[in-house]
Every structure is written in C-alpha cells, then in structure tokens.
A and B are shown apart, each in its own frame.
Chain A
C-alpha cells in the first residue's frame, strides 16, 4: 500500500470515529430498567440509583474516598454526572465520601435536612458544595420526586424542617426514601432508629416494599418487629464493613429478618449488591 493511501485511510478512520461518537449518543437509548447499587464502601452507606431515563442519584457516600472507586466501577467511563445527591444525615460514615464526589463529578442538585452538626467532615462537605455552586435543597415535608413514567422517589421522613435544629440523636434525622419503579418498591431508611419507625408506623404512608435497606447497618436500635411486619420485605440489604467496631450487624436483627422470610445480602460478605428492576421483577447480581 502506498504511504499516501495509508495516510488518507488513517485520517478517514479518525474522522469516522469522531463522527460515530455523537451519533452513538443521539441514538443510544438505555432500556427502561432501573438499577440500584448498594455500594461496598466499608462501614457506611452509599447507594447509587440509575433511573431508566439515565439520571444518576447518589444517596450517601460512605466513610472515606472508596465511593469514588465504586462509582468508577458502576458508571460508564463517560458518565461523570450525578443528577441528584441525597445526604440522609450528617454523620461521617454517610457524608465523608460525598466531598470527593462533589469535587470529581458534576453534581446538579443536593437534598439534605440541614440538621445542625459541626463535625469537620460535614462542614467540609457544605463548604465544597457552596464552592461548586451546587443548589442545596432542604427537605421540609414529605414529598415525591418524579423520575419517569413509572419511576418515582417518595420522601417519607422527615415531615418537617430540621434546618439548624439540634437533635439528641442525629440518626433520627435520617431522610427515609421509598423508591418505586412499576411494581417494585425499595425502602431506604438511612440510620433511622426505633422512634422514627414508630412515627412512620403511626403515619399514613404505605411502607410495604420488596427490598429493605436495613436501618443503621443492622444495629439493634433499628428495625423493630412491628416495622418489619408492615414492610414485609422479600430481600434485605445490610450495608456494613467487615470487622467493624460496633458489632454491626446485630445477630438478633439478622434472626428477625430471617423469620420474616427475607433473603439477606450483606456488603461486607458479597461486596457491592447490584439490583436491576424492569418494573415487575428484580434481578440481583
């Protein structure tokens, strides 16, 4: 092959590659499936939701920068955007990883409670969010965020504004979320304790769900018998670090979950738990 022809082909090839990229973008449609990844970030919570419409939602960020690695593993290489970041409550094992996420990803909006806390990590997170000019929204009532035709995010708790309020137990300020996709329902309870569970039981919200993210890493101060009976989960996910100092998850809670008939997945044993819902059934791998 003459070198001129070779050069010509090379240039054409490069042009074709560049032309293919936007075409691929415009024509590529994600199937209408919802993906929920319970990320393995050690002792802490981090949940990534990929909606059928292509939005990325991140609930909490775990205790260190591990979440960045998990996001890299679970998002496409060109996907550097988090459309919604939710901080359930300001404890270190939920907020720390989010600081680095704010720095490396384009975050469009943040939901949080605004409960008063002055630990360095929480303050650093707030400062980074302000530096990056990310709009911050306070949850002041139960509300629903629509994510698509059959997908929505219901915020069940807190029902009132906690802005600048000092709480005896910050865990009880946790945002509680019910994610609905067609027939499939996920209940994500943060670190909420028994008191909050009682409040929810007394309220009108429909708590029934297929999948429960077990509250407070499986601690004995969450997940009461009554609460479980109301939810009737088929699957329970515990986000917990191997060999943690708190003795999470509590053995009694595990027994309780087993009696309810829920299949248990733990991030300390099986790493990131990935669930894909088509609106009717849920695939786990």
Chain B
C-alpha cells in the first residue's frame, strides 16, 4: 500500500497506472522526431537510474517508518514523542516519491523500447541498400532469401515477404558481382504465376526501394510495423542455385509448423472455393480466414460505405463475439462455467491455428480469451486490468502497433466501447423504458457501443464515416458468427464428400447471399456515408477527451450507477 496525500492506491491500481504510463510513453515516443532515438541507450540508462532511485527511496522509507514506530514504543516515549510523527511522515513521502520515480523509470524505459524497434543502418542490413550510389533511385541487387509469410495473392499480382540472407550488388562500374551478408525483409511484388509458397527459397534480381507514402497513406510506416523497410517491384526471379551459397550458409526451411499450417489452410480455402461460387466464396473466405482480398473493388467499396469491412478480418472484436457465442452454447448445453471456459479456449486455439496463426489473429485470440475469462468470472467490466495488461504486453513485443496498426487500435477501442459504454447505453435504454424486442435492442446497443471509440480512427484512416453503419451492422452482424460456424462445420463434410460440397455449403450460401444483398441495399441509400477529406489529429484528441469525460461522468452519476451495478 502506498499512501499519498490521503489517497490509497492498491497494488492492482499501481499496476494499472504503470501499464498506462508505459502505453502513454510509447505513444509519445512514436510521435517524437527520429533523432531522439540516435543514442537510445541513454534512455535505458536514465530508466535504470530512476529504477535504482525507486528501490533506494523505498528502502529508506521502510527504515524511516520502522524507526518512527520504534520511537513510538512505550520505552522511548519520553525521548521521541515529537520525533516519531516526523519519521513516519517523511517515510510516507519517501514512499510516494518512490512511486513517482517508478513512473519516470517506466516512461524512459518505454522510450528506450521504441528506440530499439527502429531500424539500425548497418552494412549487414538489407535496407542499407535501398538507394543507388548517386541517390537517384533504387539500387540494383541480386538477393537470396526465403519466403517468410504466406504469399498475399491479389487480383493480378502477388506480394511475397522474403527474408533475405545474402545479396550480391550489381557493380555499378561493371565486372564481378560481389556477395555480401545482408539480412532483413523485402516485400517483392511479382506476377500471379508461377505460384510460390511459404518456405520457398528464391533468388531475385531487381531494384530495392524504400517504401513511400502515397495518397496520404503512410505505406512506409505500415510496412515498418512488421520490419519491412525495402520493397522490390517485378524483379526477375532466378532459379535458387544461380547465386552460389557462401560457406557455412545452409538453406534451412523457415518453420516446419507454419509450413504445415499453411498447407492445411490452403486445402480448406480450396474447399470453400469448390463449394461456393463467386462472389460468395470471396466473402466466405475472409470471414473465416481473414486477411484476403478476393472481392472485387466495387463490392469492397460498398462494404466500406456501410461500415462492414471489419467482418472480413479475424479481428479481436469478431473473435470475441464468436468466443462468447461458443461459450454461451456450451453453457446452455449444461456444462459449468469452468468446463465451458476451457472448451471455448480450446476451440479458439484450434480456430487460430486453422487460419494460419498470423500475429493479428494471435492478438485477436488473446482478446477472445480475455472476454471468455470475463464471462467465466461472470462480469464484463472487471477486465480493465487484463485489457490494459494485454495491450502493454503486445506493445512490449511490437511497440509500432500503437501508432501504425489500425487493426490493433480498432480491436482495443471496440472492446473498450463494449466494456465501458455498453452498460451505460443499456441503462439509458432501460431508464427510458424502451421495449427490448427480445435482444434486438442489445444487438443495436452493442454495435453502437463498439462505434463510440472507433469512429474517429475509422474516419481518419478511411476518409469515410458511415452513417448507415449501426443499421447495417444490426442487419448483418448476427449472421457473421453463424456463418463462421456454419462454414467451419461444412469444411470437414466437404473434405469427406467433395462431390456433395455444394449441399454442405448451401446454408452458408444463403447467409453470404443475404449479407451481400444487404450491403448492396444499404450502400445504395442516399447519404449512407459522409466523406471526410481531412481530419485534424487535434479533433481526434478532443473527441477522445470528451468521450472519456462523458463515460466517467455517466458512470459516476447516481441514476445510472445504480442500474449498472445492479446489472453487472
């Protein structure tokens, strides 16, 4: 316990504040100029300095308080009556000093962590070769590497993330090409065919370039999230042995586990393609497996207009809803909370493995587990600490997510809306004595609550605010988890009897057709969306301050708090 100016912080409160300071520090760091991080080791030094101060002042506080207590013992009463209060007081203020030293240490630590995540320019890094000697354009290289992620297959091209191990510079003066060790990722864009797969070894010859911002989209920052600092467009792809291996270098296949997972995933998406036609299969695939771009641009634009693009991603929000439904189903089938929780967690684990276990789905899965855990406890609003801790851990692993990963931001904000805003809306609904329509009102309030915190991020990143979104979400969202579960159920049947696949996929066909028709219908409405050409970050900050202020105010107000605490 740390007492400070009459207030007492419990351990869990201190923990929460430490996590929040860390997240705030990363936010500040990610908007700081790059030359802040030239000697990032200094930040670490200062962090350690403050940490030492924390321990010293805590120790001093302990001795001071013990001294004070000893002085207060009856034997010493005569001698130290006046002194003991002084010792205890100074001990307490030393304790609160320790608390502030700890926060300062965390703040500097977060700056150091962000600095470490920035690319270091050295001759053994692939991004060192992004510019030709005269700086006029890309640098011509021959590079060898291994495909380190599933190929991203588009309508008329594919993108390969290649983990390069060595390169050979095209000598600008002509002559022998010299081999060099240079490591790092390159995003290669190439024709649709031939096809490649995860783990393939490639040698490519082309120009390395630095990714650049275009149309106001920070493509460089977007790729930097996953440590890609070089791109290469339509290189010549050579047979793997055309660059002789340097001694001691082995061509190790990257990761056996992922290789097998992707084979399974390809097999399963192939089943969906065989069981459904276009455009239904291109909706069904991303709803289950996420991250794919099969739908044609016109339909994608419609999804954007009605604010439903999010259903085509394995996001924290979607996984949480699926997890909650599975848990509810298991509870209804007579299991107790404990058993239902563990079974639902196992279901989530299997699902995440099936979708190929990309970092984004693992994050989403973690949040799904959080929501399940909250359901096991029986209350949704007790998860503040776990939510903030999850965010802090994910950011400790990859600090760039905070500023540059829209999916990360949206997932957390949507869940925050669910946890903090939904009870308020529900209480308001009850207070106004509006009818409940057997759960329809809940669905509407859930989609509204999820929108409260995500709205500015959506407007800023996609230049659109969908006005129809609450209605469209209400009309479609219920179908998404059902669709996911129907497809997951149809997959093993279709694998056993491929000729009858179209029958097993009939229920999913009806749902996908329904979703596509609904999206088309709502997108055709006049004024279904607003276009936001430019949104100043100041407005976003202002919006969040206002939203958080209102939420706190509403939760403290007596009228609502009664109903909230009654509900939860």
Q: Answer whether A and B are interacting partners.
A: yes
What residues make up the interface of A, taking CB atoms closer than 8 Å to B? 21, 63-66, 68-69, 71-73, 75, 77-78, 80, 96, 99, 103-104, 120-121, 123-124
The answer, among B155, B191, B274, B278, for a CB contact under 8 Å with A120, is: B191
Which residues of the other chain, B, contact A99 by a CB distance below 8 angstroms?
A: 193
Query: A75 to B502, alpha carbons, bound, how many Å?
Result: 13
Contact call B502/A69, Cβ cutoff below 8 A:
no
Interface string of B375-407 (1 = CB under 8 A from A): 000000000000000000000000000000000
Q: Tell me which of B274, B277, B501 has the highest count of chain A C-beta atoms within 10 A of its own C-beta.
A: B277
Query: A72 to B279, alpha carbons, bound, how many Å?
Result: 7
Could you list 18 A-B pairs, sorted by A, with CB under 8 Å?
A: A21-B503, A64-B155, A64-B192, A68-B277, A72-B278, A72-B279, A72-B281, A75-B277, A77-B509, A78-B502, A80-B277, A80-B501, A96-B192, A120-B193, A121-B191, A121-B192, A121-B193, A123-B193
A134 → chain B closest CB, angstroms: 15
Which residues of the other chain, A, contact B191 by a CB distance below 8 angstroms?
A: 120-121
Q: Tell me which of B156, B193, B279 has the highest count of chain A C-beta atoms within 10 A of its own C-beta.
A: B193
Secondary structure call for the A interface:
helix
Contact call A77/B274, Cβ cutoff below 8 A:
no
Query: A77 to B513, alpha carbons, bound, how many Å?
Result: 11
Task: Give B190's nearest chain A residue, CB to CB.
Answer: A120
Task: Work out how many contacts link A and B, with CB atoms closer than 8 A.
Answer: 50
Give the interface size bracket for B toward A.
Answer: 20 to 34
A211 → chain B closest CB, angstroms: 27
A192 → chain B closest CB, angstroms: 25
In the complex, whether B45 has a CB less than 8 A from a CB of chain A is no
Contact call A80/B502, Cβ cutoff below 8 A:
yes
Contact call B502/A63, Cβ cutoff below 8 A:
no
Which residues of the other chain, B, contact A65 by a CB distance below 8 angstroms?
A: 155-156, 192
In the complex, whether B273 has a CB less than 8 A from a CB of chain A is yes
Contact call A124/B195, Cβ cutoff below 8 A:
yes
In the complex, whether B240 has a CB less than 8 A from a CB of chain A is no
A19 → chain B closest CB, angstroms: 13
Task: Give B503's nearest chain A residue, CB to CB.
Answer: A21
Asked if A72 meets B277 with Cβ closer than 8 Å, knowing A64-B156, A78-B502, the reply is: yes
Interface string of B488-502 (1 = CB under 8 A from A): 000000000000011
Given contacts A72-B279, A121-B191, 12 further A-B contacts (CB under 8 A): A64-B155, A64-B156, A65-B192, A69-B296, A71-B277, A72-B281, A73-B278, A77-B277, A80-B277, A96-B193, A120-B194, A123-B194
B235 → chain A closest CB, angstroms: 13
Which residues of the other chain, A, contact B155 by a CB distance below 8 angstroms?
A: 64-66
Interface string of B239-280 (1 = CB under 8 A from A): 000000000000000000000000000000010011001111
Asked if A68 meets B278 with Cβ closer than 8 Å, knowing A21-B503, A63-B156, the reply is: yes
Interface string of B273-296 (1 = CB under 8 A from A): 110011111000000000000001
B202 → chain A closest CB, angstroms: 14
Query: A104 to B156, alpha carbons, bound, how many Å?
Result: 17
The answer, among B192, B273, B503, for a CB contact under 8 Å with A103, is: B273
Asked if A77 meets B502 with Cβ closer than 8 Å, knowing A71-B278, A72-B277, the reply is: yes
Query: A99 to B156, alpha carbons, bound, how many Å?
Result: 13
Which residues of the other chain, B, contact A104 by a CB distance below 8 angstroms?
A: 273-274
Asked if A72 meets B503 with Cβ closer than 8 Å, knowing A120-B194, A121-B193, the reply is: no
Query: A21 to B503, alpha carbons, bound, how many Å?
Result: 10
Q: Which of B503-561 contact A (CB under 8 A)?
A: 503, 509
A150 → chain B closest CB, angstroms: 30
Asked if A124 meets B278 with Cβ closer than 8 Å, knowing A77-B502, A103-B270, the reply is: no
Contact call B193/A69, Cβ cutoff below 8 A:
no
Query: A63 to B192, alpha carbons, bound, how many Å?
Result: 11
A219 → chain B closest CB, angstroms: 22
A81 → chain B closest CB, angstroms: 10
A198 → chain B closest CB, angstroms: 34
Task: Give B299's nearest chain A residue, CB to CB.
Answer: A69
Which residues of the other chain, B, contact A123 by a CB distance below 8 angstroms?
A: 193-194
A93 → chain B closest CB, angstroms: 12
Q: Which of B86-143 contact A (CB under 8 A)?
A: none
A132 → chain B closest CB, angstroms: 11
Which residues of the other chain, A, contact B503 by a CB distance below 8 angstroms?
A: 21
A177 → chain B closest CB, angstroms: 26
